[in-house]
Structure 1
């Protein structure tokens, strides 16, 4: 895959994936088109050599893998991990709010959201809805309103003269978005609006809405930014970018070596769930693939946890260690923390640097300032669960956890090239 095509498809993937459910559906379609076979956790598996497979859990996490042509017990598995979720605002179960003729929705903050950028944006709504259909069956369906339907208006500076000096956000009272105006006699509920949208999107006749998991999102599409198109801006770059890179790497390997991609949900809230990295999903897949030889296979394996890194901000240079300030478009960032917030060790970092150097590609290193707390990823959780040698790496970005984030337009492709080589390398450890 060439650089221009890589970024073009990246923009399409980001635009098509407003929620983890939509991201996984997009990945599933891509894998099926490439000849990967879908597995069902409820059924027996019979895996063939040299074949690609994938399995999902909850519709928000996915494991895709190539079995390779060799004995996985002695050749090991080249693994890449990412996560499908991003910080956002989710609609509450009983969200209807009516005030002075405006219909608003109560929302809950998901993950560590930068809240101020959510004001004054054209917002839409997407996610999964569980319904009772006209035949009395419980089923799930995806919805995406696509057009702007909501807006969280700022309070005018005339009414808050200190807004530029001390802007704080109360998630309970400041964030409910305006979605329409209603007369006092109008009894339309949010559930009524959902039924209308489901009928419009899928033609499904819904007798009752039983539950939903819906997120607001910015309708502005992913786009190049910069006088020379040096950057790409989008929502949910953390961490759909890594999902896309991992997927393209898996698809473009030779297929001779055993390789795997796992994209977990719920990383932004701690990963403790059935489909999160601290849950049993990946381990269960490996049990069924490797059987009694799992421990030996894992001992020959390596995991690269791909999750975006903090690029050094030119307006806030003092927020970075002076020797570890990653620059956009100067290569992926090896993330190191000796307190195990990242799982990188000298061996896993060495493997990546060696492959990158062989390809003549740049790489950087990140260590958080010694007087600041360090974030984390699925890397330490996966390493702890499986006992697999792990590297934490990511593309440097600005605006992490904002409604819109920025990366260099070169770095994603650079990481893709290294991960593709990693996934098809005969010997990793």
Structure 2
């Protein structure tokens, strides 16, 4: 006996289940914007899309399927209609890949009261009390130097709980339930391990640690050795080969279906990875009608929406215009893609009478600290892990020391022309400066050593940029 309506219902339920499972699988593998874009890339490649490079010539043709990636965290995908002609226009969707999170600072090494801690920065407008007492891990990307001298990046997602931000016991803060106050600088620092474990490791790895610090300079002094060893293991490289990283704290509890009738999805990052997933799936599944299409279909996945979109990979950048204009014009955008901008503006040296106004791990010195590399994950500075990797390599080849600056979490951060130029031009940008005191006074001060480092740095930039640029693998 035939029950067509019942068969349709069964088929629909099966497809519904596959859709839910597909999304959960996607979002569980996307703890960061970098992982999200990497997973989208795999989906598009499987569907026959071809990756285009910003610094290469393009040949966009009808029925062609393409995608472009920026910074590893922004992606633009396009499918050209079989009947498309120049001037017909585009049918676009736009989403974003980022979500509020805690991010590891450029100098993360902390120890207090017998605990090893990781210094973190707040990205976006998160509800930070929900990050307490969660079993957290680390995810992101690591830049390291290969044996042949090439530089590459590797996605990491530590598959176990290794970090936690514990709450204070109610016995020690009786008004917690009546008045919840979080000092983002002091109360959100994450616990990585017990200090006694580090001491035990030091006894067996003393020689290795000394060797590592000699080879990798100050990197081994900025982060706990155990953390660097874990990252090296994930990347299958040596600790002293690690140059830099973008690391975020991420929940280890997987996204899942819940509710009495399984009617809910419990997950982080629904805003806005759910939109990103659906936009890409919609584009891929519409390909069967592409031969008759007269438009170019596209999906734009931006990064940094949660913090204002003003970045080279944000929606306020020229990235989208570059992509669209290259359908008919190429050379200008190729030049932009191969360019690099150093935004130079003086930096705040540590003040002996106001040292508490600096993050204790980011205190630029006027003596022998070197050129200041400025980082702010809310994009008040344009520096990214990639652009700072480039500048650290240039500084290394130029024999110029680099010191890190990152603002306290509980104080507003100033800005420079860097974010503006980065977003308007769609150009890779880094923010640096020379340390000084009495900024904006009629009589300011710096040091002769700072001047010397600054002069050598700029000369080294012009001489060594080509070598570093050519060493980066794509």
Instruction: Give the structure 2 partner of residue 244 of structure 1.
Output: 277
Q: CA RMSD for the aligned pairs?
A: 2.0
Q: What is the distance in 2 between the residues matched to 1:208 and 1:107?
A: 23
Tell me which of the two structures has the higher relative contact order, counting C-alpha pairs closer than 8 angstroms and 6 or more residues apart. 1
- Maintained 8 Å contact 2:232/2:242: no
Aligned 8 A contact 2:109 2:224 in 1:
no
What residue in structure 2 maps to residue 151 of structure 1?
164
1:249 and 1:170 map into 2 onto residues whose CA distance is 42
Conservation of the 8 A alpha-carbon contact between 1:222 and 1:235: yes
2:131 maps to 118
> Would the aligned equivalents of 1:102 and 1:182 in 2 still touch at CA under 8 Å?
yes
Question: In 2, distance between residues paired with 1:108 and 1:129?
Answer: 18
Question: Displacement, 1:73?
Answer: 3.6
Question: Is 1:221 paired with 2:254?
Answer: yes
- Partner Cα distance (2:238, 2:64) in 1: 39
Partner in structure 1 of residue 94 of structure 2: 81
Alignment CA distance shift 1:237-1:72 (3 Å): farther
Q: In structure 2, the residue corresponding to 1:159 is in which secondary structure?
A: coil
Of residues 171, 175, 190, the one that matches 2:184 is: 171
Aligned-pair CA distance for 1:255: 1.9
Secondary structure at 1:204 match in 2: coil
Give the aligned partner of residue 323 of structure 1: none
SS in 2 for 1:158: coil
Q: Distance in 2 between matches of 1:105 and 1:217?
A: 14
Q: CA deviation at 1:194?
A: 4.3
Any conservation in 1 of the 2:229–2:239 contact (CA below 8 Å)?
A: no
For each residue in 1:37-75, what CA deviation from the matched residue of structure 2 results, as whole angstroms up to 9, or x when unmatched?
A: 111111100112112111101100000110111234453
Separation (CA, whole Å) in 2 of partners of 1:59 and 1:51: 22
State whether structure 2 residue 140 is matched by structure 1 residue 105: no
SS in 1 for 2:25: helix
**C-alpha distance in structure 1 between counterparts of 2:254 and 2:279, whole Å:** 22
State how far apart, in whole Å, the 2-side matches of 1:191 and 1:22 are. 24
| Unpaired stretches in structure 2, ≥5 consecutive residues | 1-11, 203-208, 210-219, 331-423, 425-474
Selected match of 1:91 from 86, 104, 107: 104
Structure with the higher fraction of residues in helix conformation: 2
TM-score, length-scaled by structure 1: 0.65
| 2:55 maps to 1:22 | no
Question: Aligned partners of 2:190, 2:235: CA distance in 1, in Å?
Answer: 26
Is 1:132 the equivalent of 2:145? yes
| Partner Cα separation in structure 2 for residue 260 and residue 275 of structure 1 | 16
- Note closer, same or farther for the CA distance 1:287–1:78 as it changes in structure 2 (3 Å cut): same
Structure 1 stretches lacking a partner, 5+ long = 293-384, 386-429
Of 290, 298, 301, the residue aligned with 1:255 is 290
Residues 134 and 207 of structure 1 are in contact (CA less than 8 Å); yes or no, is this contact kept in structure 2?
A: no
Match of residue 74, structure 2, among 48, 61, 68:
61
- The one-character-per-residue Cα deviations of 1:274-301 (angstroms, maximum 9, x if unpaired) are 1100001111111112549xxxxxxxxx
User: 2:312 is matched with which residue?
Assistant: 274
What's the offset of the Cα at 1:79? 0.3
1:248 is paired with a residue of what secondary structure? helix
Task: Measure, in 2, the Cα distance between the counterparts of 1:136 and 1:51.
Answer: 36
Q: Report how many aligned residue pairs link the two structures.
A: 293
State the alpha-carbon separation in 1 of the partners of residues 45 and 225 from structure 2.
Answer: 35
2:437 is matched with which residue?
A: none
Q: List per-residue Cα deviations over 1:163-188 (Å, max 9, x = no partner).
A: 11110111111011111112374667
Could you tell me how far apart the structure 1 residues matched to 2:227 and 2:59 are? 40
Q: C-alpha offsets along residues 288-328 of structure 1, whole Å, 9 cap, x if unaligned? A: 12549xxxxxxxxxxxxxxxxxxxxxxxxxxxxxxxxxxxx
Return 266-275 or 252-261, whichever deviates more. Answer: 252-261
Query: Is the partner of 2:321 in helix, strand or coil?
Result: helix
Residue number in structure 2 paired with 1:203 = 236
- 1:267 Cα deviation (Å)? 0.3
CA–CA separation in structure 1 for the residues paired with 2:161 and 2:46: 31
Change (3 A) 1:72 1:167: farther
Do the aligned partners of residues 43 and 206 (structure 1) sit closer, same or farther apart at CA in structure 2, a change above 3 Å counting?
farther
Question: Relative to 1, partners in 2 of residues 1:72 and 1:157: Cα closer, same or farther, differing over 3 Å?
Answer: farther
